[in-house]
Structure 1
Amino acid sequence: MKIQTLSSLNIIAALALAFVIGAVLMWVSGYDPASSYYSMLVTPFSDRVYLLSALAFSAPIVLTGLTFALGLRTGLFNIGAEGQVYMGALGAVIAAYFARSLAALPLALAIGLALAVLWSAVPAVLKMWRGVNEVVSTIMMNWIAYWTVIMAVSTAFANPLQPEESVKTPEVARLTPLIPGTDFTVAVPVAYIVALLMYIFLKYSVWGYRISVSGLNPIAARSYGIKPERAVLAAFALGALTAGLAGVLQVVARPPSYSLMRNLANVYGIGFDGITAAMLGRGHPLGVVLASIFLGVMQEGARHMQIEAGTPFEFVRVVQGLIILLLAVQILRRP
């Protein structure tokens, strides 16, 4: 299987077709597509609070989008960000359970990132040593993470006062909104800065060069003394760091709960949204940021679409699923 970079025309065509198919499905289901799309894509720009909320939605998508984009750069179709987000969030919950002070914040980062990297090591080792397809192994690891974290949140780390969620991050360790009355926390600039650092790393560092060359042509990479296996390990590990960070921030920097919901509602799907963002952003870190903002607008707009047009929120997921499907068909091809 060969992974190719999409042109801007491919992406625009996929977006247009996804929205057209979505409109048809809305119309067949008895909803007004024009009103629904207006509420989804225009309303979020009508108020500062709406727009800042859309940016808050975009932050974790940027981080998981970088995970997938880094995999693409290395010639991998790594869809393991979802499970790594869960593990990062679990790390933040564990930190909140054991530390009821400011120390909970650095502890959350340390445990969350470590768990995410360890979780990514399984598919990385299977890929290198046994040639196991990363799509299969990461899907399995996602589901194992999902049920493992649900079990942990439902038992050992459950909130005795609110059993539908985990223990809360201590107030002193929370990253509260930078602008009162909004969801805009330091998580947003952190995500964008990480994307910028990733761009600099890939473009100007030695390891960034090795990763890119290994993905483009492993045979040529070996002739230059580059070991593609190490590039695969580096891509899995770095991708796990960004995905794990997304999970940590969803717990310590996402009002109002500052906890992990028992059904993982506040982290579920972030890894898959990152796949869409990476595809729309053509695997470029800065493109991922722009695509994530677009998806953040869609997610914020979905709430208005449900209220103003009466169209179920799930139609946004339908459109996003169509985008992934149409882009994946183009981005994956056999030699």
Structure 2
Amino acid sequence: MRFQTASAVNIAAALVMAFAVGTALMWISGYDPLSSYSAMLITPLSDWVYFLSALAFSAPMALTGLTFSLGLRAGLFNIGAEGQVYMGALGAVAAAYLLGGPAVLPLAFAMGLILAVLWSSVPAVLKIWRGVNEVISTIMMNWVAYWVTIMAVSTAFANPLQPEESVKVPEPARLTPLVPGTDFTAAVPIAYAAAFLVLIFLKYSVWGYRISVSGYNPIAAKSYGIKPERAVLVAFALGSVTAGLAGVLQVVARPPSYSLARNLANVYGLGFDGITAAMLGRGHPVGVVLASIFLGIMQEGARHMQIEAGTPYEFVKVIQGLIILFLALQLLRK
């Protein structure tokens, strides 16, 4: 109970400091912090359409947050979710290019998840085989994934009718809004269900126990007959599944385009947003979901902040960066 209270206090302190610095930056820049924060945090809760849109924003962040959390549980600092999101989205686009009709949907999930897992296997093998730091390898893989996806969307999978995006998922294969007039699709319950399954996996499965023990103390894990290398491999693979799922859902379940933007605007940064969600949620699947909802409210609120207060959208990203900074400083202090 003391640990949970301390964690809640630390999170609250990081949020207060991040918003305080954000207030100063807004004021220096000539914007009104009070009206900006009101539009950012209150307006999305004032209308159910806005709130459902915030939940839609939260879904991919919850999934990439799970990727980072699984890495932390195994003693890894896995920031490869960004590249794996690109691969998941690329797999969905490739499926739309290859097939038509409802058959695209299962193929999109299969291809997207397989590509994401294969992409994560490179840093995983490098970590196990040669001891390569996963931060370095995943950053490099993120950039390779970015440019590979850009090239694919610009050439082979380009939409001849709309060159600014990829080929579209055919209508019969789209996960359309569950509530008409909103962005709330099946992606939201799928993301939250994934978090529940990860929770069950970590808490009750043998491999969940092995991952936790290996991450906490690899030497002790070996004394119990657990091979930390295998735990690392499983954590990478399972994390890539959730990240790849985020990429697939951004293509098959994100109106109105149901495609991948040529500049990857609809998937760019989701992996890094997941790090914020994971750190705010203290790496716990339930905490990650709650944190992603909070970040989704901020993301939806950014649009209202720009319209109502004239404050640039980018200030939300500034505050998210400050949240990570202050949470990281608390970890260094320990």
With normalisation by structure 1, the TM-score equals 0.97
Moved more, 175-184 or 124-133: 124-133
Q: Distance in 2 between matches of 1:289 and 1:161?
A: 38
Correspondence for 2:264: 264
Give deviations 1:70-104, integer Å, cap 9, x for gaps: 01111111000000000000000000000111110
Give deviations 1:108-132, integer Å, cap 9, x for gaps: 0110000000100111111111111
Correspondence for 2:3: none
Give deviations 1:260-299, integer Å, cap 9, x for gaps: 0000000011101100000000000010000000000000
Alpha-carbon RMSD across the aligned residues, in angstroms, is: 1.0
Query: Structure 2 matches for 1:208-287, cutoff 5 A?
Result: 208-287=208-287
> Tell me, what secondary structure is at the counterpart of 1:175?
coil
In percent, how many aligned pairs have the same letter? Answer: 81
Correspondence for 1:21: 21
- 1:331 Cα deviation (Å)? 3.1
Letter in 1 for 2:113: L
- 1:330 Cα deviation (Å)? 2.9
Correspondence for 2:91: 91
Q: Distance in 1 between matches of 2:330 and 2:65?
A: 18
Letter in 2 for 1:126: L
Letter in 1 for 2:27: W
Correspondence for 1:119: 119
- Distance of aligned partners of 1:204 and 1:182 in 2 relative to their CA distance in 1, 3 Å threshold: same
> Tell me, what secondary structure is at the counterpart of 1:7?
helix
Correspondence for 1:300: 300
Letter in 1 for 2:311: T
Correspondence for 1:3: none
Q: Distance in 1 between matches of 2:225 and 2:67?
A: 26
Q: Distance in 1 between matches of 2:83 and 2:97?
A: 21
Letter in 2 for 1:196: F
Q: Distance in 1 between matches of 2:19 and 2:133?
A: 32
> Tell me, what secondary structure is at the counterpart of 1:297?
helix
Q: Distance in 2 between matches of 1:12 and 1:134?
A: 30
Query: Structure 2 matches for 1:128-277, cutoff 5 A?
Result: 128-277=128-277
Correspondence for 1:33: 33
Q: Which runs of 5+ in 2 are unaligned?
A: 1-5
Letter in 2 for 1:167: V
- 1:13 Cα deviation (Å)? 1.1
- 1:328 Cα deviation (Å)? 2.3
> Tell me, what secondary structure is at the counterpart of 1:42?
helix
Letter in 1 for 2:303: R
Q: Distance in 2 between matches of 1:327 and 1:83?
A: 24
Letter in 1 for 2:29: S
Q: Distance in 1 between matches of 2:207 and 2:316?
A: 38
Correspondence for 1:9: 9
> Tell me, what secondary structure is at the counterpart of 1:263?
coil
Q: After the TM superposition, list the runs of 4 or more consecutive aligned residues in structure 1 that deviate by more than 4 angstroms.
A: none
The total of aligned residue pairs comes to 329
- Distance of aligned partners of 1:200 and 1:121 in 2 relative to their CA distance in 1, 3 Å threshold: same
- 1:187 Cα deviation (Å)? 0.5
- 1:329 Cα deviation (Å)? 3.0
- 1:68 Cα deviation (Å)? 0.3
- Distance of aligned partners of 1:333 and 1:232 in 2 relative to their CA distance in 1, 3 Å threshold: farther
With normalisation by structure 2, the TM-score equals 0.97
Give deviations 1:127-150, integer Å, cap 9, x for gaps: 111111111111111111011100
